[in-house]
Structure 1
Amino acid sequence: MRGVGRQDGTAAGTTAAASRRAPRLTPGVRRVAGLLAGLALLAGCGSTPAESPPTGVDGLRVPTPEPDPSDFVAEVDHPLFPLAEGGAWRYRAADGSEVAVEVVGGDVVAGVDVTVLDRVTTDADGEVVGERRSAYAEDAAGNVWSFGRQVLSGPGESWRAGVDGAEAGLLVPAAPRVGDAWLQQESPDLTTRVEVLETDAVVDGPDGDAAGTLVTEDTERTDAGEESVVRSYAPGLGVVQVADAGTGAVLLELVERTG
């Protein structure tokens, strides 16, 4: 392996997971320091929580400046973020607006073959108010990485791994644990931090309760300010709900999944 290092800290929660080969990624780590020290203090005095077993997150450099194409596989088939060819998702907001997401093919970003998602937002009258395309790839260890976002219309910041200092960032770990946290992107124009809140939650899905759901808090900072949302990833479905991290209000919920 080449240049593999550990992320600072040990996660507060545990999940049973078998270790798979961590990708050979070159240096460029943005270390998340002191996260679990604070969690340990909150747990109270007089007891020491058991240390979580290592997972793929511990061996990753996040974000990574020079991903090795040989570390990645052809398809994104993570159970919590499956991107099969022909996959499509339809989300609805409380105000009647909708978001349609669809796998639209592939691309090559920073030398890595990626899967591209097209996201179109329409208002309550059906008028298109935003469109963006995002690129993802899965490594041989089962971690899903974000390789960029192109904002075609509407709000948001575009970025592409390998361009203007932007680096590929971790989206969903192969074996997430409560307390895991990382910088998904870090640049002068856009910084995104992700923290795992739950790994076995039950949330509303399009066909009833979705168990075994991963819940993360994603905080995005741009020149326009800072916004935090809570995302829920359900097995076999992907993202099923997005909520405001401050109020808990549901911003988007999955109403249909095809493909």
Structure 2
Amino acid sequence: MREHVRMAASRPTPLPSVRRPLATLLPALVLALALTGCSLGPGDSPPSGVDGLTVPSPAPAPADFEDPGANAWFPLPEGDETVEVAGVATTPVSRTVDGEAVTDLLATDEDGHVWWFGREGEWEVGPTVPLGLWLPADPRVGDGWRRSAADGVSEERVTVLDVAAPVATADGEQEAVLLDVRSDLDPALSRREYYVADVGQVLLRD
């Protein structure tokens, strides 16, 4: 759980105006912004990862998935047949990637983060395959994480490019979380994934 604390800034005593060359002011300005945690704007964050999560996780804790929270951007289908992986009941989600039909095994934890437990017929989380994050509950621009780390089979890294990207849907244009997904196995390949609130993934573009 992230905690956001707002601290009231004290009013400094006015000092006499002193003209200084811009080159001498820039280092101090950069340091000041770093120390104050200057925001890039609503929904933005530095590209430093996802706070409070270990990604990839060495092993899932089944108790964390017994009472899943809601992920507004990627609500998993309810009532579908589940597949147990590492003691967790995962939801099979089918889609088309690179022209091939695949079925990913996903589960949402109690905080609303969606995790990737494997792909049917290819790999599953286990003693040598850590748990990868599919989509956090509250994605922010600049967030980056490891989606999977199945050595030699599927190794992906994700970066949030936008949280209000316009995308055309059957219900008209809507705002979506836009992800850039890149493969460690072939860094030249990448794809864009769009997620609309209360709908889920609406577009996958290579």
Q: Secondary structure at the match of 1:184?
A: strand
Calculate the aligned-residue CA RMSD, in Å. 3.0
Q: Measured at CA, do residues 64 and 78 of structure 1 come closer, stay the same or move farther in structure 2, by a change above 3 Å?
A: same
CA contact (8 A) 2:50 2:144 kept: no
* Structure 2 counterparts to residues 82-231 of structure 1, below 5 A: 82-85=75-78, 104-119=80-95, 130-151=100-121, 158-162=122-126, 165-189=128-152, 190-211=154-175, 213-222=176-185, 226-231=188-193
Gapped regions of structure 2 (runs ≥ 5): 4-25
- Percent identity, please: 34
Q: 1:132/1:242 Cα in 2 relative to 1: closer, same or farther (>3 Å)?
A: closer
| Residue matched to 2:11 | none
TM-score normalized with structure 2 length: 0.71
Distance 1:119 1:230 in 2: 14
Supply the distance in 2 between the matched residues of 1:194 and 1:130 (Cα, whole angstroms): 20
Name the counterpart of 1:50: 38
Q: Counterparts of 1:82 and 1:161 in 2: how far apart (Å)?
A: 21
Larger radius of gyration: 2
Deviations 1:208-255 (A, max 9, x none): 0112x1111000233x664201111001211111223xxxxxxxxxxx
- Between Structure 1 and Structure 2, the one with more strand by share is 1
**What is the SS of the residue equivalent to 1:105?**
coil
> CA 1:201–1:225 in 2, change beyond 3 Å: closer, same or farther?
closer
- For 2:58 and 2:165, the matched residues in 1 are separated by 33
Q: For 2:120 and 2:96, how far apart are their aligned partners in 1?
A: 12
Cα 1:233–1:218 shift into 2, 3 Å: same
Number of residue-to-residue matches in the alignment: 170
Alignment of 1:240-255 (within 5 A): 240-244=202-206
Q: Decide whether the 8 Å contact of 1:185 with 1:193 is kept in 2.
A: yes
Q: In 2, Cα distance between the equivalents of 1:227 and 1:142? A: 29
Partners of 1:216 and 1:241 in 2: how far apart?
11
Structure 1, unmatched stretches of 5+, are 1-17, 21-43, 87-103, 122-128, 152-157, 245-259
Question: What is the alpha-carbon distance in structure 1 between the residues aligned to residue 118 and residue 87 of structure 2?
Answer: 13
* 1:80 and 2:73 correspond: yes
Matched, 1:238 2:206: no
Tell me the distance in 2 between the aligned counterparts of 1:196 and 1:130.
Answer: 24
* In 1, Cα distance between equivalents of 2:77 and 2:125: 22
Secondary structure, aligned partner of 1:70: helix
